[in-house]
Amino acid sequence: MKIYPYKRLNRPIALRVTSVSLHLPDGTRDQLDTSAYSTQQQTVALGVAGHADWVSATVALSATLPPGFDDPGAAWSDLSVLGVLTDGETNIRTSTVLTRVAEDTRDWSGSIKLFRDDHLGRAALAVYAVGTVDGVPGRSIAETDRSWIVDAVSDEPVRGLQLEVRKASFTRSAREWLRAYADAPWIVDTSSRVPTVFVNTDVDGIDGLLDSSGSGVESKVRDLLVAQMATDAWTAVFHGAIGDLEVEPGGGPVFPTDWQGEVLREMLPDVVPGVHVEEALRQVHRRRTGDSGWTELQTRIHYAAIRRAEASRALGFAIRRLEQANRESEK
């Protein structure tokens, strides 16, 4: 939780996406149906309509401010409500001014336009109420506590981490850097736009095992293998995210706006339990950059990765299937 040297509203702004449309090269507009956005996931997927060549998109917004924003005795004046879309990967920030629906409501509405050429993947959409406080304009009075995600390429509005899995011969791959890991069954690459797990097809049988679709012991071994890969992936992406943080002038870490931010918000409650995610981020950052505490935190990071990968569930299924197979062979 941040401390502000001026009065603010105590509750966050509620944000909803109400419609999405794409503007196409031929000048027409495709009004997307509700499958393009998910209120539960708070995510917009602009690839849902299959238009790879769309020029721009318009996302309609509805925001509800907390009670008290227009009290006569409020400490702020000149209140404005802004929708802000931030893309940490391309360093693009787009804003729009929302309009109050009616004088007797707390609802504001508007739309924000984004251009396809400005975005490679995911951007964060938030709403801020800003005003003049103590003679200083542009101070934030309230904001959304969780941004929506606008994904320029996905065809499914899923908020969580998306991993790409690619198969490659590490010894013969055109990616020369893979050759240094020729004896590894898989490697996690966190440097690309989407974290990628490279599976080494040089390992005898791994390709067929991952592609197996049976229901016997082989499938349980496959599930166990996938869970281990996922554990490694979650561990790697957490370290990748926490090691690439921007820092405010005061020294505090800033949540990333792309997949790295999603990873941190997902895992931090298990890494530093019992505190708000912003405080958890500060604690982890202090331990990583300080003199002590980082080594001790590795157990919690591994535990958080195991939970996300559902490794215990996969292991339990594999053990029960092996026990069943043993019983059947003894009959």
| pLDDT digit string, tens, across residues 260-308 | 887 888 889 899 988 888 889 999 999 998 878 899 999 999 999 998 8
Least confident of 121-130, 162-171, 204-213, 262-271: 204-213
Cβ atoms of residues 131 and 79 within 8 Å: yes
What pLDDT score was predicted for residue 120?
A: 80
- Residue scoring higher pLDDT (67 or 252): 67
Q: Give the chain's mean pLDDT.
A: 87
141 pLDDT more than 90? yes
8 vs 47: CA distance, rounded Å? 38
What pLDDT score was predicted for residue 294?
A: 92
158 pLDDT more than 80? no
What pLDDT score was predicted for residue 160?
A: 64
- Give me the residues paired with residue 19 across strands: 60
| Tokens linked to 116 | 């396809």
Task: Please provide the distance, in angstroms rounded to a whole number, between the alpha carbons at the two ends of the chain.
Answer: 62
What pLDDT score was predicted for residue 117?
A: 93
223 pLDDT more than 90? no
What confidence category does residue 3 fall into, taking pLDDT thresholds of 50, 70 and 90?
low
pLDDT of 6-34, one tens digit each?
899 988 999 999 999 999 999 999 999 99
313 vs 310: CA distance, rounded Å? 5
pLDDT of 32-80, one tens digit each?
999 999 988 889 999 988 888 899 999 999 999 999 999 998 999 999 9
pLDDT of 187-222, one tens digit each?
999 887 678 899 999 999 888 888 766 556 677 778
Mean pLDDT for the stretch of residues 102-123 = 92
pLDDT of 82-108, one tens digit each?
999 998 778 899 999 999 999 989 999
What pLDDT score was predicted for residue 329?
A: 73
129 vs 140: CA distance, rounded Å? 6
What pLDDT score was predicted for residue 4?
A: 73
